[in-house]
Structure 1
Amino acid sequence: MVLSPSVGTSAATRLAFRQGISAPCRGATVPRLASSSLTHDSVALARRLSARGISSKTSASAVTAAAAPASSVAACSRSLATVASSNTGSKPPTAVLLMNMGGPSTLNEVGDFLSRLFHDRELIQLPFQSRLAPLIAARRTPKIKDQYAKIGGGSPILRWTRTQGDAMATMLDELHPATAPHKAYIAFRYARPLTEEALDEMAKDGVTRAVAFTQYPQYSCSTTGSNLNELYREIQRRRKEGRPEADIRWSVIDRWPTHEGLVEAFTQRLRDTLETYPAEIRQTVPIMFSAHSLPMQIVSGRGDPYPAEVAATVAAVMARLGWSNPYRVTWQSQVGPSAWLGPQTSDTVKGWAKQGHKHAVAVPIAFTQDHIETLYELDIELVEEAEEHGMQLKRVESLNDHPLFLRALADIAAAHLQSVEGTKATSETSSVAVHPFAQGNCSTQMGLRCPGCTNAVCGEQKAFFKSGGAPLDAAA
């Protein structure tokens, strides 16, 4: 999410990226699922990825390595907006557009990132916004640059999204050959590659079929909704100009909070952390499932579904754990004096410390990649706060390149394409986990606007994607 102290207000961040793109780990083993239809194919596909030089699990040394320098990122041979596909040939790829808010990859991008954020009235409404936004961004830039400098000089979210997209596209070619080849593109809301850059790349590739795939499992108007609104506006702009890419046929994966692979990946990450505690206290350690907070005006006033979908993910993870530990859903990154979703993650630490708890585990339940909010807010700020109150806090590792999570992305896309295209499962796709929100061009839930929504673009966007990208008069 975006209205974060780590993005636009306060904080300073983690020492170095604990990730980056690692060298392939050919000897990596794939975690075993206790009971899941994903098990067999996850292992087989992960092994094939490893054989092709795509890492299914980073090595231990790579996890703690510093990020690659910005110059190496700039020198990357493929487009900023795309992930390389293993497929070549004359047939244009089926595009899978990975949407996220993004983050500045270098310190020089911080100012532009903040300017775009503060200009966006769908997220932040200010009086005289066109004048105030650049002033606020300019004032914040030095402080935020310092924060990003402390996590290696930029956000790792682009590198992780590339890693995830590359693995997803490779598996998707096997899971759903009817729409192969597949190619992952990246569209960030506030950082490069922006939506227009992704569409430019898709136009160059001759794409005629695309899936907009939100990288936020739980839907919110302030994240997935904002990305889709921006994509819709850009498509309409190109349609007015008569550009061919404006006629791409679209469908949307707009939420996936309880997908089996997502839940199992979170569960395994959490179980790995819990097993670092002595057996005699392991099941007494309280768990904080931390997600980015939202103003109550958005939740109660507008009716945003985000809190309910976060709770659904948490309940699914705890059920998989057998409800072994006490837990709470907590909310981080509150900004300003107005009422936000609570309890705040930091306040939870203080409260538990006063009650005598000596240990706690934090799970970034709404984030699928490491970025400034995990690397600083949880890894540094919250850890230090816990220590000041006599507690030891451990943060569960982000999903990043967990093999089951990579398979989940491919499963979700395959189930969605089967739903939209009406294709039948083959021997390779027969065990693709059913995605409950694979309901055609978008989920049934996406078609319902928030009760308090007053943004006309939301209604137009939903009608557009529900129709598969038809002109507005046809969608009506």
Structure 2
Amino acid sequence: MIAVLLLDFGGPEKLDDVEPFLKNLFSDRLIFPFPFGQEIFAKIIAKYRSPKVIEEYKLIGGRSPLIEQSKNICRDLEEGFKKANLDIPVFVGMRYWKPTIDETLSQIASLQPKGMVVIPMFPHYSTATTLSVLQEFQKSYDARRLTIPYQLVEWWYDQPQFIAAWCYSIKKALDSFDEKIRKTVPILFTAHGLPVSFVTERKDPYPKQVKESCEKIMTYLGGDNPSYLSYQSKVGPIEWLKPSTMKFVKELGSRGVRELIIVPISFLTDHIETLFEIDHEIIPEAKKAGIAQVVRCEALYYGPYLKKTLEDLVLRKLPSLLGG
């Protein structure tokens, strides 16, 4: 038996979870490095931000859909492996919420698998996401003195199935537009932002990988659709990657753009960043700027290719674990 461990951040499952979730998030020095008193800083910022964030979650159902959708992905993957006569149970562990990475590792260890395939649910590598979950994984693995061999998938932004997944989602969104203009509707890729210092000081490859994904998608998509890339979800006063998605949609409106597809390129499932930030803030702002028809692509969770992508990533690692 080979086990699969998917790693993600997690999210609040009810409104009362928002403040403790934020505290866990702000306690991570890889995301919010504070020169001293990280835990005190995290507690203060979480308490300050939680009332606003709670109101945002109220508008999207009172919870994050991430955990439920992640568990569904695990179930679908496991069922697919069973149909192929492969004994590969699939688990998910969360960096900032439950089930924690440590709890999930304990569950996997109890099954005594021959090996593990570990996949961060972040196609593009970043020190703020991929490295954070992998460090937590390694910390728990070492603390439990596990000896299970494992293979890591550190990034998968350029995998053909991942590119096909976004092409599928974009084509589905294009169907919302009049057939006469589908090949020319502008496409705006929006990725979760990152402090500029992460790129200049840590040499974070994230923006380069995101750009390469977008270019590959547009190549495979074909057509004459103009495309752009911007960044969202900025937190704090420091400089983040630009252009800002919020500002850029206003600019597109001022240029005379009247139709637009928004592609949340760095999000695999539904998040507050898509359901609230894009749907309740960015899209209304775009319409105010004169863009009459704006369509956000569905998360890859809803299409057939995310499962195929993850299956392919697992199967590629099996020979190394089975000695083949």
- Fold shared, TM-score > 0.5 on shorter chain: yes
Calculate the TM-score normalised by the size of structure 1. 0.65
Which residue does 1:402 correspond to in 2? Answer: 303
CA contact (8 A) 1:96 1:210 kept: yes
> CA–CA distance in 2 between the matches of 1:197 and 1:111?
21
Q: How does 1:78-89 map to 2 (within 5 A)?
A: none
Amino acid corresponding to residue 224 of structure 1 in structure 2: T
CA contact (8 A) 2:184 2:223 kept: no
Which residue does 2:16 correspond to in 1? Answer: 108
Out of 188, 192, 200, the residue aligned to residue 288 of structure 1 is 188
The runs of at least 4 aligned residues of structure 1 exceeding 4 Å deviation read none
> CA–CA distance in 1 between the matches of 2:265 and 2:38?
32
Post-superposition shift, 1:356? 1.0
Which residue does 1:338 correspond to in 2? Answer: 238
Distance of aligned partners of 1:271 and 1:398 in 2 relative to their CA distance in 1, 3 Å threshold: same
Calculate the TM-score normalised by the size of structure 2. 0.94
Q: Check if 1:235 corresponds to 2:141.
A: yes
Which residue does 1:317 correspond to in 2? Answer: 217
CA contact (8 A) 2:167 2:217 kept: yes
Distance of aligned partners of 1:322 and 1:419 in 2 relative to their CA distance in 1, 3 Å threshold: farther
> CA–CA distance in 1 between the matches of 2:238 and 2:44?
22
Which residue does 1:220 correspond to in 2? Answer: 126
1:284 match: secondary structure:
coil
Q: How does 1:74-223 map to 2 (within 5 A)?
A: 93-126=1-34, 127-173=36-82, 180-223=86-129
> CA–CA distance in 1 between the matches of 2:87 and 2:41?
46
> CA–CA distance in 1 between the matches of 2:186 and 2:67?
32
Post-superposition shift, 1:340? 1.2
> CA–CA distance in 2 between the matches of 1:330 and 1:420?
39
Out of 278, 288, 303, the residue aligned to residue 388 of structure 1 is 288
Out of 414, 426, 433, the residue aligned to residue 315 of structure 2 is 414
CA contact (8 A) 1:94 1:209 kept: yes
> CA–CA distance in 2 between the matches of 1:210 and 1:161?
18
> CA–CA distance in 2 between the matches of 1:208 and 1:237?
19
> CA–CA distance in 1 between the matches of 2:310 and 2:247?
34
More helix per residue: 2
Aligned residues with identical type, % of pairs: 34
2:107 match: secondary structure:
helix
Tell me the alpha carbon deviations over residues 291-313 of structure 1, each in whole angstroms, 9 at most, x when there is no partner.
10111100122111111111121
Which residue does 1:70 correspond to in 2? Answer: none
Structure 2: gaps spanning 5 or more residues? none
Structure 1: gaps spanning 5 or more residues? 1-92, 240-245, 424-476
Amino acid corresponding to residue 142 of structure 2 in structure 1: Q
CA contact (8 A) 1:318 1:324 kept: no
What is the number of equivalent residue pairs in this alignment? 322
CA contact (8 A) 2:14 2:63 kept: yes
